[in-house]
């Protein structure tokens, strides 16, 4: 970004990506001389990363993150993160015929993971070894990639990144299959990582599925005081550095003139002039509605087509349960960071196909639900969160608007179904321990984020929308940036850094997708805080 003057960098959205964008800017610029302003429509920052209280129980929307200490250090933020003890994932394979489960614990370290896979299928020792070596190499190569590669960079990639080249059009499942691993339990175990990629292994780009696996091998973490602590600390730090944060500020238009951005308009009519905007909201809304499809199309038809055809990730349902003190969660084997109760054998892919049609096709014979017990890691009153993934927006939003009573009835019926499954296979008598319950549907997520599909993880990382095939971050409108995939907190923090790196000609990550030294901390000037504190957000209903 060469000429900037005193016009601010405007960031639309105060979630993880928006906060990371603004903080990265303020860490590399004097934010008093070159201001940055975050516009957030909600009364609190954090977006999907938030916490809420019900009758003394603390619940988080988000459930775990890989190690994000590199980002916290870069921002100069001190936040106590608790490493989840035990396995990163525990798979519970339910057999509806015999009414039994068997479990497989997936450890959060590569050596333990290798031991697990070879114990499950000793006859596949060679393929397992080759797969894990390849996956580590792929992760290493991905870190070397340039975000906006030149022709020379592309030639360099072709010559030095064989794993990236080999997997560039593959799904994670095709990648796994290419090693000849056929064992059913191995497929279940590897498929579990796809849950964090927002697509089944049969759909997600190989590089993403593999990167999730590698990053989960560094452990799973939660902030000690609840996930809301993360955005609150980011906000505090941003304000210390001179950044400006406006909550309750809904952007309804991104203004352009002759192919370049000139400002944004808020819903109350206020105009903010700027030459540079980073939008971190649903890209279809930002480009199609805030810029306007006609405007975008008149500038770059191909980009407009890409925005139109690009698919967002699915939504989900969260069932938060506050439990009485009589329950002993620690005795139930649910201490892993993420427990997955599933009927297995392609269940996720089956449910996903139904969700693509806007339907839910779970039954007592085919279901999947993730079970997390945050209080086991961070203490406090016993809590349990059930995550039902995937779930399409379908008619949830319309139903809530048209017939609130029927909406309540249906969401409670779905919640009951999954609570019963957990009771049947994992926690005998669960229902008798429930003191508080709060259910969020795809309509909740759509309303909260402003994404009409209630998408939980931004753009869907199919191979045809990933890597070189993705929607470019530098939009065809000069000065307007749309950070890449925000598949979770870790990638969102990175996406914000990538956006500023593009704005500041490589000053942050050296033009790389991830940057060389994720451990390096950046010293930044201090200045007084300006913004009133906010309370915990209520996100249910």
Ligand X SMILES: Cc1cc2nc3c(=O)[nH]c(=O)nc-3n(C[C@H](O)[C@H](O)[C@H](O)COP(=O)(O)OP(=O)(O)OC[C@H]3O[C@@H](n4cnc5c(N)ncnc54)[C@H](O)[C@@H]3O)c2cc1C
The residue ranges that bind ligand X (CB under 6 A) are 12-18, 39-42, 47-49, 61-65, 250-251, 280-281, 316, 318, 445, 449-450, 456-458, 486-490, 492
For the bound state, the minimum distance from the C-beta of residue 316 to ligand X, rounded and expressed in Å, comes to 6
Nearer to ligand X among residue 181 and residue 537 (C-beta)? 537
Nearer to ligand X among residue 181 and residue 249 (C-beta)? 249
For the bound state, the minimum distance from the C-beta of residue 33 to ligand X, rounded and expressed in Å, comes to 25
Nearer to ligand X among residue 167 and residue 316 (C-beta)? 316
Q: Is residue 445 within a helix (H) or strand (E), and if so which, with residue range? A: helix 442-449
Nearer to ligand X among residue 113 and residue 490 (C-beta)? 490
Nearer to ligand X among residue 128 and residue 208 (C-beta)? 208
For the bound state, the minimum distance from the C-beta of residue 155 to ligand X, rounded and expressed in Å, comes to 33
Nearer to ligand X among residue 68 and residue 117 (C-beta)? 68
For the bound state, the minimum distance from the C-beta of residue 136 to ligand X, rounded and expressed in Å, comes to 21
For the bound state, the minimum distance from the C-beta of residue 71 to ligand X, rounded and expressed in Å, comes to 12
Nearer to ligand X among residue 189 and residue 372 (C-beta)? 372
3-state secondary structure of 287: helix
CB 187 within 8 A of CB 181: yes
CB 460 within 8 A of CB 198: yes
- Cα–Cα distance between 392 and 396 in angstroms, integer? 9
For the bound state, the minimum distance from the C-beta of residue 398 to ligand X, rounded and expressed in Å, comes to 20
Nearer to ligand X among residue 171 and residue 316 (C-beta)? 316
For the bound state, the minimum distance from the C-beta of residue 231 to ligand X, rounded and expressed in Å, comes to 9
- Cα–Cα distance between 540 and 319 in angstroms, integer? 10
For the bound state, the minimum distance from the C-beta of residue 296 to ligand X, rounded and expressed in Å, comes to 16
- Cα–Cα distance between 501 and 28 in angstroms, integer? 10
CB 456 within 8 A of CB 338: no
Q: What contacts 409, CB < 8 A, 6 or more positions away?
A: none
Structure tokens at 418: 């999954």
Q: Is the dihedral of CA 396, 406, 321, 78 positive or negative?
A: positive
- Cα–Cα distance between 130 and 141 in angstroms, integer? 16
Nearer to ligand X among residue 167 and residue 451 (C-beta)? 451
Residue length, the chain?
541
- Cα–Cα distance between 306 and 297 in angstroms, integer? 11
Q: What angle do CA 334, 335, 339 make, to 5 degrees?
A: 50
Nearer to ligand X among residue 157 and residue 459 (C-beta)? 459
- Residue 25: name the closest of 278, 367, 352, 309 by CA: 278
- Preceding peptide of 170 cis, ω within 30°: no
Q: Is residue 255 within a helix (H) or strand (E), and if so which, with residue range? A: strand 251-257
DSSP string covering 170-236, please? -BHHHHHHTTT---HHHHHHHHHHHGGGTS-TTTSBHHHHHHHHHHHTT--EEETT-TTHHHHHHHH
314 DSSP assignment: P
Q: Is residue 128 within a helix (H) or strand (E), and if so which, with residue range? A: helix 125-144
For the bound state, the minimum distance from the C-beta of residue 461 to ligand X, rounded and expressed in Å, comes to 12
How far apart, in Å, are the Cα atoms of 360 and each of 352, 363, 395? 9, 9, 11
For the bound state, the minimum distance from the C-beta of residue 339 to ligand X, rounded and expressed in Å, comes to 13
Nearer to ligand X among residue 496 and residue 511 (C-beta)? 496
Q: What angle do CA 55, 56, 58 make, to 5 degrees?
A: 110
Q: What contacts 278, CB < 8 A, 6 or more positions away?
A: 9, 10, 11, 12, 18, 21, 481, 482, 483, 496, 499, 500, 503
For the bound state, the minimum distance from the C-beta of residue 281 to ligand X, rounded and expressed in Å, comes to 4
Nearer to ligand X among residue 479 and residue 488 (C-beta)? 488
Q: What contacts 130, CB < 8 A, 6 or more positions away?
A: 179
For the bound state, the minimum distance from the C-beta of residue 226 to ligand X, rounded and expressed in Å, comes to 13
Estimate to the nearest angstrom the gap between the alpha carbon of 289 and the chain centroid.
Answer: 23
For tokens 């927006």, name the residue.
393
Nearer to ligand X among residue 292 and residue 345 (C-beta)? 292
Nearer to ligand X among residue 230 and residue 427 (C-beta)? 230
For the bound state, the minimum distance from the C-beta of residue 432 to ligand X, rounded and expressed in Å, comes to 26
For the bound state, the minimum distance from the C-beta of residue 221 to ligand X, rounded and expressed in Å, comes to 10
Radius of gyration of the chain, Cα coordinates, nearest whole angstrom:
23
């Amino acid at each position: 970004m060469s000429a900037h003057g005193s016009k601010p960098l405007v960031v639309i959205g105060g979630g993880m990506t928006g906060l990371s964008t603004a903080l990265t800017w303020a860490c590399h610029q004097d934010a008093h001389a070159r201001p940055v302003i975050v516009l957030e429509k909600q009364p609190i920052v954090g977006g999907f990363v938030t916490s809420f209280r019900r009758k003394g129980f603390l619940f988080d929307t988000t459930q775990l993150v890989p190690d994000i200490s590199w980002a916290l250090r870069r921002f100069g933020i001190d936040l106590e993160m608790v490493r989840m003890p035990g396995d990163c994932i525990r798979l519970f394979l339910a057999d509806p015929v015999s009414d039994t489960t068997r479990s497989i614990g997936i450890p959060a370290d590569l050596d333990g993971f290798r031991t697990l896979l070879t114990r499950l299928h000793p006859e596949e020792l060679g393929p397992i070894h080759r797969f894990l070596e390849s996956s580590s190499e792929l992760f290493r190569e991905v870190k070397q990639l340039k975000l906006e590669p030149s022709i020379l960079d592309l030639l360099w990639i072709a010559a030095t990144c064989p794993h990236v080249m080999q997997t560039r059009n593959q799904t994670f499942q095709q990648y796994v299959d290419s090693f000849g691993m056929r064992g059913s339990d191995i497929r279940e175990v590897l498929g579990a990582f796809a849950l964090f990629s927002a697509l089944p292994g049969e759909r997600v780009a190989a590089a993403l599925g593999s990167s999730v696996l590698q990053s989960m091998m560094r452990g799973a973490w939660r902030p000690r005081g609840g996930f809301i602590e993360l955005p609150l600390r980011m906000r505090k730090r941003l304000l210390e550095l001179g950044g400006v944060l406006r909550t309750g500020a809904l952007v309804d238009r991104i203004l352009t003139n002759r192919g370049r951005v000139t400002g944004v308009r808020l819903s109350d009519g206020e105009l903010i002039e700027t030459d540079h905007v980073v939008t971190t909201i649903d890209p279809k809304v930002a480009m199609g509605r805030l810029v306007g499809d006609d405007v975008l199309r008149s500038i770059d038809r191909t980009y407009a087509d890409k925005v139109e055809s690009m698919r967002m990730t699915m939504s989900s349902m969260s069932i938060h349960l506050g439990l009485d003190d009589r329950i002993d969660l620690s005795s139930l084997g649910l201490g892993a960071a993420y427990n997955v109760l599933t009927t297995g054998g392609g269940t996720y892919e089956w449910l996903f196909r139904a969700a693509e049609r806007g339907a839910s096709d779970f039954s007592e014979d085919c279901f999947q639900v993730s079970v997390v017990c945050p209080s086991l890691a961070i203490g406090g009153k016993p809590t349990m969160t059930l995550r039902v993934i995937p779930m399409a927006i379908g008619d949830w939003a319309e139903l809530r608007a048209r017939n609130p009573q029927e909406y309540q009835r249906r969401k409670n019926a779905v919640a009951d179904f999954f609570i019963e499954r957990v009771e049947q296979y994992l926690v005998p008598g669960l229902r008798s321990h429930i003191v508080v319950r709060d259910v969020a549907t795809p309509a909740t997520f759509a309303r909260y984020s402003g994404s009409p599909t209630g998408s939980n993880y931004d753009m869907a990382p199919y191979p045809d929308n990933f890597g070189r095939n993705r929607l470019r971050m530098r939009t065809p409108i000069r000065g307007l940036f749309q950070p890449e995939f925000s598949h979770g907190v870790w990638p969102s923090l990175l996406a914000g850094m990538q956006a500023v790196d593009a704005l500041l000609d490589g000053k942050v990550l050296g033009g790389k997708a991830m940057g060389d030294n994720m451990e390096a901390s950046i010293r930044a000037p201090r200045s007084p805080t300006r913004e009133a504190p906010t309370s915990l957000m209520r996100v249910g209903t």
